[in-house]
Amino acid sequence: MVYLYLLATLLFVFGIKRLTSVKTCRQGNRLSELGMFCAVVTVVLIGTNVNWAVVVAGILVGGAAGLLIAKRTPTTQMPEMVAALNGFGGAASALVAMATLLIDDRVQQTGFALGDLGIVPAIAFPATIVVGMVTLTGSFVAYGKLSGKKLSHPLQGAQRHALHAGLGAAAIALAVWMALTGNHVMTTVAVVLLAAAAAVLGVFLVMPIGGADMPVVVSLLNSYSGVAAAFAGFVTREPLLIVTGALVGASGLILTQIMCKAMNRSLGNVLLGGMGEEAVAKDAKDYKSIKSTTPEEVAMLLDAASSVIFVPGYGLAVAQAQHVVRELADLLQKRGCNVRYAIHPVAGRMPGHMNVLLAESDVPYDQLWEMDRINADFKNTDVVIVVGANDVVNPAAREPTGPIAGMPILDVDQARTVIVIKRSLSPGYAGIKNPLFDLDNCLMVFLDAKEALEGMVKEVKELR
């Protein structure tokens, strides 16, 4: 059985490693799936008094539900689904800890406290409940924000921080009480109160974080779910759960740091709330020299272009236009045009959102260029087509002050011509004006992304 543990662990490690590349990510998913299968089989085989009916029913119901959700969830709602899955993972760990504690024969004995089981259980049980419940409720607040719900914190400034600190202190006090009380009824009460306090804390921690920071929040909550699973491993004495939970927790934290670096902000600054809150700058829609154009005119520009870069954003996902943009790119390539896609690390509403979206339409991997690799090429590019992106191409980031000051952006304004496909002049998640729209080399197409791209495809086909 030890060898099965090692096999499952190695499959998880190599699976996560393969996820770091667009070319190998599908293989990484398959390796991770195989690792999970080995983990489940191993745990069931070494278990005593296994209720096979419950195990089989759980696999069938859970597998069917997962398949149904995956099939029915459109790409636009992928960030919400990931947030929900993080929440369910945290809830599962918390429920395991609560159930294990409340059915333990020793804890049910009068005068026997959780702390009597040792220092590891005394820490692991409450930690699993706290991290799991914070992950659950925090993830569903993130789900609401990603879905466009107006969820704002009722308090501001010092009052907000005082509330969070108070809830954190209450959770610690309840955890200590739960570990030290020798009364089963009191232990049950402490468990319920601790879960409630952690759940409320999770809601309030995520509420003040702005929509533009949701990619960071999603990856951080993913890390939390892994940490909760690792603690649950100590609760159930399952080394494989400890290892896999630690892998998820560590990889999620690394991804969070990468996302913060891509925004040039610290994790503390993100967690304290800020970019993308409900406030919108007064001049966010105040433009003076907007130049609009049509798909027909854009097609003529593309006909003369030797190099084109597409910049995908959340608007591309909303319009479900990934297949049309691929069709347009293929037409341009057949005419000898050099076509690439510029991918900003925080474009969309979750880490890797644009990579997933474009992979769905089978865009060749070698056409996907990361920000650091492609930024120097914009000045030599004939046409850049920005499809539904806003903050990641906003030159305001180069200003010394402002909500996105210092944030690395795609330097699209350096191209000869920039085409921005956008339904209106509404601001992005950061809620600020985009000076790009006023530049002499910028043309706006005020249409739904799919409608605009379909019009370009039609016009390009008719040119020759």
Residue 240 and residue 105 in one domain: yes
Beta strands 368-370 and 383-387, pairing class: unpaired
Residue 259 and residue 302 in one domain: no
pLDDT at 157: 78
Residue 312 and residue 204 in one domain: no
Residue 255 and residue 335 in one domain: no
pLDDT at 283: 67
Helix (H, G, I), strand (E, B) or coil at 303: helix
Residue 46 lies in a domain: no
Question: What CA–CA distance (Å, rounded) separates 132 from 199?
Answer: 9
The residue among 239, 271, 303 that closes a domain is 271
Domain extent, residue 124, equals: 73-271
- Cα distance between the two ends of the chain: 66
CA angle 325, 327, 333 (to 5 degrees): 100
Active site residue 116: no
Residue 122 and residue 261 in one domain: yes
The residue among 219, 238, 271 that closes a domain is 271
Question: What CA–CA distance (Å, rounded) separates 114 from 121?
Answer: 7
Residue 5 lies in a domain: no
Positions in the chain whose pLDDT score sits under 70: 1, 47-48, 104-111, 211-212, 272-284, 429, 464
Residue 252 and residue 331 in one domain: no
Residue 115 and residue 261 in one domain: yes
| Active-site annotation holder among 391, 411, 413, 448 | 391
Q: Which residues contact 199 (CB under 8 A, 6 or more apart)?
A: 133, 134, 136, 137
Residue 395 and residue 246 in one domain: no
pLDDT at 279: 55
Residue 47 lies in a domain: no
Residue 224 and residue 183 in one domain: yes
Please count the structural domains in the chain. 2
Is pTM beyond 0.85? Reply is no
Residue 67 lies in a domain: no
Sheet-wide strand order for 338-343: 368-370, 338-343, 307-312, 383-387, 417-421, 442-445
Residue 362 and residue 440 in one domain: yes
Residue 299 and residue 237 in one domain: no
pLDDT at 326: 95
Residue 224 and residue 156 in one domain: yes
